Structure 1
C-alpha cells in the first residue's frame, strides 16, 4: 500500500502522520511485464533488511526503495528485480522486507493493526495482508506480514514482543491455541502447550 492509499484508512493515515507524512509513490505494474530472465546478479537482501550490491551495503535509501518497488516473486519461488526489458535474480536471506513499526487501534477481533516496512510501505493487517508465524532453528518465533506480490516482511524483534504481548489462548477445533485477535480474525501463533 502506498502512502497515497493511507488517507483512505484511518489507522494507516495516523501511522503515516506519525512518520511525517510519507511521500506518495505508485508501484510499477511488474505483474504485467514479461521480460526475459537474464540470470543472477550480485545483489542480496540480508535478514536485517540491509541491501548489498557486490558485497557492499547500498547506503542510498531512495535507491533501495526504487529496487524494492520492482521486486517480484516468480512462480518457482525466485525473487527477481524486473523491468519491462529484463528480469534478474537476487539473493534474499529471509524476507525481502522488514516490518519496523506498528500502529494498534482497538481490542480483540476488532483490533486493527498496521505496519510500516523498512522501505516505507504501509501495510494493514487484513485479508490481503495476512500474518504468518514460523519457528526458527532455535525454536524462536518469527512473524511475517504479507506486503504484496507474494513478498513478505519479517517483524523486528521488538514488534514480535509487542505481538506476543497482545496474544491470548483460544480453543479451536478441540485444540488450545495461543494467538492474536485482530483484523476480524484470530491468528494462530502456536499450540498453547508449545507457546
Structure 2
C-alpha cells in the first residue's frame, strides 16, 4: 500500500482532521511481545530526524513506516516491534515533533490539532494531552500521540500556545482543546 502525502493542514477543518486522525490504522504493537530482542542501530535525534548506523534516513515514507511500529516501554525505553522481534531504538527527547497547529474557537470552545513530522494528525483532547516540562533551557511542551509516545511541540507553536493561555483568563493559565484543559505550569 503506497503512502499518501499528508494533506495540507490549512485546507482542512478540525472536524476533517479529527476524522482523519481516527482513520489512522496502526498495527497492534502493544499486543506484540516477541522473544527475539536486539538493537536496531537507529536513533531519533532531538529535532525528530531518524538515523540508522549514523546515517540520516531521508525517505519520509521509511520514517513513517518505522514510526508506525514504535512503542515506548514501561521503563521509558523505546523499541520498534513486530510480531517476531523487538529492537531497541535510541530517542534523544520525544520520538515525534509537532510541527504545525490548527486552532479553532476560543476558551473552553477551543479545538487544537497538530501535524507531526511524520505527517500524522493528532487532535489535542483528554486522550492526547498537552503538558509542559521544565528543563534547564526552559519549558518544553509535549503532546501525547499514543500509548506513552509523545511529540515535542515546535518552539513557534509553543509561543502560539502561550499566547492562547495568557489571553484565556483561566487561573491557573492553560489551554483548552476539545473540552480538556491543560495547565501551562511546567512540571519539574
CA distance in 1, matches of 2:184, 2:64: 30
Shift of 1:97: 0.3
TM-score when scaled to structure 2?
0.84
Tell me which residue corresponds to 2:3: none
Q: Give the alignment's Cα RMSD to 1 decimal.
A: 2.6
Tell me which residue corresponds to 1:113: 112
What is the aligned length? Answer: 175
Q: Structure 1 residues 101, 15: CA separation in 2 closer, same or farther (over 3 Å shift)? A: farther
Deviates more, 1:123-132 or 1:37-46: 37-46
Is 2:14 aligned against 1:11?
yes
Answer yes or no: is the 8 Å Cα contact 2:103–2:111 preserved in 1: yes
Tell me which residue corresponds to 1:181: 176
Where does structure 1 lack aligned partners over 5 or more consecutive residues? Answer: 4-8, 172-176
Q: Structure 1 residues 14, 89: CA separation in 2 closer, same or farther (over 3 Å shift)? A: closer
After superposition, what is the alpha-carbon deviation per residue over 1:76-129, rounded to whole angstroms, capped at 9, x for unaligned?
A: 221000011000101000000000111111000110001110111110111110
After superposition, what is the alpha-carbon deviation per residue over 1:9-48, rounded to whole angstroms, capped at 9, x for unaligned?
A: 95052599xxxx99x7521111121212523232100010
Tell me which residue corresponds to 2:151: 153
Where does structure 2 lack aligned partners over 5 or more consecutive residues? Answer: 1-5, 7-11
What's the secondary structure of 1:115's corresponding residue? strand
CA distance in 2, matches of 1:124, 1:143: 15
Runs of 4+ residues deviating >4 angstroms? none
Equivalent positions of 1:22-37 (< 5 A) are 26-37=25-36
TM-score when scaled to structure 1?
0.81
CA distance in 1, matches of 2:146, 2:57: 23
